Amino acid sequence: MNERQPVRRPGGRSARVGAQVRQAVTDLISERGYGNFTVGDVAARAGVADSSVYRRWGSLETLLTDVALTRLNARSPMPDTGSLAGDLRTYAAQVAREITGPDGPAVLHLAVALSSSGEQGRQAGDALRAERTRQLQSILDRARERGEPAPDVLDVLDHILSPMYIRVLFGMVPLTPDYIDGLVDRLL
């Protein structure tokens, strides 16, 4: 007997609903802040039933974690400019665009809030750090293969990404290209 399995289409209704729900969460965080809305609020904003949100994510915390990880781990092409300085400048500029875009500050605030909200939040923070570390390690490994001296991945996190995150979280001066290049120059 040959049973047919349903075929999932990556760009189908499920993907569209997921994108609508994630955008609804981001919008609500921007408007109300973390912890000031329910699954019902998200569903209403997204134009879907509460049961659809619960069926897919199970809880508001799981949904929030998914939103933070999806947005902050958006995959940009890893730069390969031929030099470590060029790769780090390009990568840092990509991250700056992600975190200063229309939803960037809200998603960063969500990630910080989740990191102190129990085990699931800590796992979300760990997953975010692991992905950023993986991305950076690939740049550093490639530089070493070219014979360039390269810092430790934690130094890159401490000296390039952390200052950018802090500036966005606290609404400090913009992340200009000169500022980003200065972070890279000071590290190298």
Measured distance CA(22)–CA(79) in Å, rounded: 27
Give the pLDDT of residue 132.
79
Banded pLDDT at 3 (limits 50, 70, 90): low
Asked whether the beta carbons of 65 and 114 are under 8 A apart, the reply is yes
At 16-40, the pLDDT tens digits run 899 999 999 989 988 888 788 999 9
At 53-94, the pLDDT tens digits run 999 988 888 888 788 777 766 656 689 999 999 999 999 999
